[in-house]
């Protein structure tokens, strides 16, 4: 991972390997119960003699088209859930991290999987197109950009193959008037700078109430001033972030450090812009790097208006002195993962399901819902041979009496 995508050793361990280990442990404890057959209760009175139960069956053959920003964590958890549900899995590694992901697949196969259960394909982009064109799957899992996700959705639609698409985020952090400005600043700084800002659930904009705005910036400024350069996936990614920063400065924003350094190839220093207009490029346009736009707002209603300008909905953060207030506000953000008084780190909980909305994709991965999404429900109804609803049409008299009784039954107060 260090050689392929530039991860420092600690980030490779804490951001990739550790969450995967936690997910493995969690599935060892909980997967059997989640996938176990269940008795279906609530059988209608006129279905006497019947017993109903629900089972989960594997989807069949699942393709996973992997991404590079967390090459071991994301692919590993997707493989884990698909395999634990009983599927055969075909992995197409990212062209940016092929050796890391090939090593992960090799470890899984060496752990004792039956031959042919987990297969590895070539990492090239052409191999990805050929995979979807030439092979038949029962489900496709893709993590990556919205643009590529749209192409995969079109290709899968031609064969009516269902998909799980984990696409780009462009997330907001809301710092309310009763928030701890220091805690908010430290949490957001870590989230926007870790993994060189290449996290789909990292905050791209901080919407800060004017009543705590000055204190928030004063806490954030020394962190920005002490920042060291980080390594992005390539030079064009760093240059794209720089372009948005420059365009936002032209709109009247200012940098907390007083200077803007141009990227050195794929390396750049994390940057925070204050006093950003709500319609500035860094506030609304997509990027994948260590840059945070800080927008002063008057109240929660203005926060929600600025937040709603972005069609991507993946996660959001709320900083407040009242957890109850944060919970009430969560319902209005449209995101699938909400963190209160923290950012990004809680999303690594192995039971936290992730589901995008809008241009952030569809389907669910991770947690109980993600495991169930790798299966299909099978409903089994068993009817007794003696005590049962008669298969014959009743006589007019019996039908009349049954109609009166059942009308009363469903009309009575329960």
| DSSP per residue, 59-91 | -SEEEEE--SSSTTHHHHHHHHHHHHTT-EEEE
pLDDT attached to residue 67: 96
Ranges for all domains in the chain classified under CATH 3.40.309.10: 171-349
- Is the predicted pLDDT of residue 169 greater than 90, yes or no? no
Residues 41-62 have pLDDT tens digits of 999 999 999 999 999 999 999 9
Residue with the bigger pLDDT between 176 and 311: it is: 176
* 8 Å CB contact between 167 and 144: yes
Residue 414: its pLDDT value, please? 64
pLDDT tens per residue, range 313-356 = 789 999 999 999 999 999 899 898 999 999 999 999 999 999 98
Average pLDDT, the chain: 95
Distances (CA, A) of 327 to 47, 99, 211, 324, 338: 42, 42, 21, 5, 9
Q: How many CB atoms lie within 10 A of CB 45?
A: 10
Nearest Cα to 155, choosing from 133, 134, 176? 133
pLDDT digits (tens, 9 = 90+) for 139-159: 999 999 999 999 999 999 999
Max distance between CA atoms of the chain, in angstroms, equals 90
Which positions ≥6 away from 160 have C-beta within 8 Å?
Answer: none
- Burial of 254 (C-beta count, 10 Å sphere; 0-12/13-18/19+): middle
Is 253 in a helix, a strand, or coil? coil
> Do residues 271 and 236 touch, judged by C-beta distance below 8 A?
no
Of the candidate CATH numbers 3.40.309.10, 3.90.320.10, 3.30.450.20, 2.60.40.1120, the domain formed by 171-349 belongs to 3.40.309.10
For 297, phi then psi, to 5°, come to: -135, 160
Q: Which residue has the higher pLDDT, 389 or 292?
A: 292
Nearest to 202 by CA among 21, 15, 371: 15
Mention the CATH class of domain 2-167+364-376. Answer: alpha beta
CA atoms within 13 Å, Cβ hemisphere of 208: 31
> Using CA atoms, how far apart are residues 218 and 67, in angstroms rounded to an integer?
36
d(CA 351, CA 374): 15
Query: Is the Cβ–Cβ distance between 366 and 84 less than 8 Å?
Result: no
Cα separation, 96 vs 353, in Å, equals 26
Q: Is the pLDDT of residue 401 over 90?
A: yes
* Residue range 224-234: mean pLDDT, rounded: 95
Cα–Cα nearest to 365, from 25, 64, 35, 5: 64
DSSP code at position 14: I
pLDDT at position 332 is 92
Cα–Cα distance between 173 and 175 in angstroms, integer? 6
pLDDT tens digits, one per residue of 90-128 = 999 999 999 999 999 999 999 999 999 999 999 999 999
Identify the residue whose tokens are 């909400």: 338
* pLDDT for 413 beyond 80: no
Q: Rounded distance, CA 50 to CA 44, Å?
A: 9
pTM for the whole structure: 0.93
Structure tokens belonging to residue 122: 């070539």
Q: Please list the residue range(s) of the chain that carry CATH number 3.40.605.10.
A: 2-167+364-376
């Amino acid at each position: 991972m260090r050689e392929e995508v530039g991860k420092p050793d600690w980030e490779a361990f804490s951001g990739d390997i550790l969450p995967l280990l936690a997910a493995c442990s969690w599935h060892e404890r909980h997967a059997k119960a989640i996938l176990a057959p269940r008795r279906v209760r609530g059988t209608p009175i006129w279905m006497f003699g019947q017993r109903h139960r629900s089972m989960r069956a594997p989807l069949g053959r699942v393709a996973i088209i992997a991404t590079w920003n967390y090459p071991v964590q994301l692919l590993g958890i997707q493989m884990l859930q698909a395999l634990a549900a009983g599927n055969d899995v075909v992995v197409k590694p990212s062209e940016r991290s092929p050796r890391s992901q090939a090593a992960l697949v090799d470890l899984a196969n060496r752990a004792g999987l039956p031959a042919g259960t987990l297969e590895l394909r070539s990492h090239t982009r052409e191999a990805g197109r050929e995979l979807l064109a030439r092979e038949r799957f029962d489900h496709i899992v893709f993590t990556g950009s919205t643009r590529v996700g749209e192409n995969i959705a079109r290709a899968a639609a031609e064969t009516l193959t269902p998909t799980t698409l984990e696409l780009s985020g462009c997330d907001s952090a809301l710092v309310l008037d009763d928030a701890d400005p220091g805690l908010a600043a430290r949490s957001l700084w870590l989230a926007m700078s870790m993994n060189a800002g290449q996290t789909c659930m990292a905050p791209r904009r901080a919407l800060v109430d004017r009543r705590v705005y000055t204190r928030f910036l004063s806490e954030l400024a020394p962190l920005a001033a002490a920042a060291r350069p980080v390594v992005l996936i390539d030079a064009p990614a760093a240059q794209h972030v720089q372009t948005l920063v420059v365009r936002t400065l032209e709109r009247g924003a200012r940098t907390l450090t007083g200077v803007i350094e141009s990227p050195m190839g794929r390396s750049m220093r994390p940057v925070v812009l204050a006093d950003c207009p709500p319609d500035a490029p860094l506030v609304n346009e997509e990027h994948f790097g260590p840059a945070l736009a800080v927008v002063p707002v008057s109240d929660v209603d203005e926060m929600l208006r600025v937040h709603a300008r972005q069609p991507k909905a993946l996660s959001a953060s709320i900083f407040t002195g009242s957890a109850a207030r944060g919970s009430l506000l969560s319902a209005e953000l449209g995101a699938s993962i909400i963190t209160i008084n923290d950012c990004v780190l809680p999303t690594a909980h192995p039971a936290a399901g992730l589901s995008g909305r809008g241009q952030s994709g569809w389907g669910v991965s991770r947690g109980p819902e993600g495991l169930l999404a790798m299966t299909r429900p099978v409903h089994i109804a068993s009817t007794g041979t003696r005590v049962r609803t008669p298969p014959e049409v009743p006589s007019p008299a019996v039908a009349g009496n049954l109609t009166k009784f059942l009308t009363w039954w469903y009309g009575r107060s329960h």
